[in-house]
Amino acid sequence: MALTEQTRADAVELAGRYPQSRSALLPMLHLVQSAEGTVTPDGIALCADVVGLTTAEVAAVATFYTMYKRHKVGRYHVGVCTNTMCAVLGGDAIWAALSERLGVGHDEVTADGTISLERIECQAACTHAPVMTANWEFLDDMDVPRALEVVERLRAGEEVFSTRGPRIGTFQEIERTLAGFEDGLADEGRTDDHMLAGLAYAREHGMTAPEPPARSPLAATTTEG
């Protein structure tokens, strides 16, 4: 795909959702990736034009965050968490097995273009370690056999569901969702009892967070000035 007038119209819509249009830059970069599969020079120019920044400023943002890719990734971008918790519980073994099976390393794409692989420092889901993602959808409590099965099913074009979410879409489909456009799948999946265990315990025992201390007018003026 390529950038179209519809892409520009969507970008303008995103900019209109914020009091300051430049606040739309992050979702707008996801929009560009949904159209072209990567952040291209044309995509950077489009974002810069819509939000009123220079192309250098947009490129600085696009190269800072690892979710924005400057080269094509696979139809399914698989991330394996290898931070401490996931690593010791099997993340390193999962990474090694997938890398060997696919014949690719960090941020590389298989020859058929179906899978790209990335080492992730943290997926913010330690409760379900070891964790991997496919196009940013969670695959929890993984092990080597299951990880290999997921990847082979994705390569074969079979339908795969995330552990607590919807069907795993293609990279470009998910990027459009991340840009802020509804995909109709918000109600699919299940409630994650493990991740909400602390909240459930607090409610059962009548626990609440203390009120923050009142701020004096002088402190507010100093902070906001």
Q: Per the structure block, which two tokens stand in for 158? A: 């079979």
Q: Is residue 224 part of a domain?
A: no
Residues 164 and 106 in one domain: yes
3 state DSSP class of 225: coil
Residues 81 and 162 in one domain: yes
Q: What is the CATH number of the domain that holds 43?
A: 1.10.10
The residue to which tokens 């099965």 are assigned:
149
3 state DSSP class of 200: helix
Domain total of the chain: 2
Q: Is residue 217 part of a domain?
A: no
Q: What is the pLDDT of residues 145-173, one digit of tens each?
A: 999 999 999 999 999 999 988 899 999 99
Q: What is the pLDDT of residues 61-83, one digit of tens each?
A: 999 999 999 999 999 999 999 99
Print the domain residue range for 29. Answer: 5-62
The CA–CA distances, whole Å, from 211 to 114, 122, 124 equal 50, 31, 27
Q: Is residue 190 part of a domain?
A: no
Question: What pTM was computed for the model?
Answer: 0.83
Count other C-beta atoms under 10 Å from residue 183's C-beta. 13
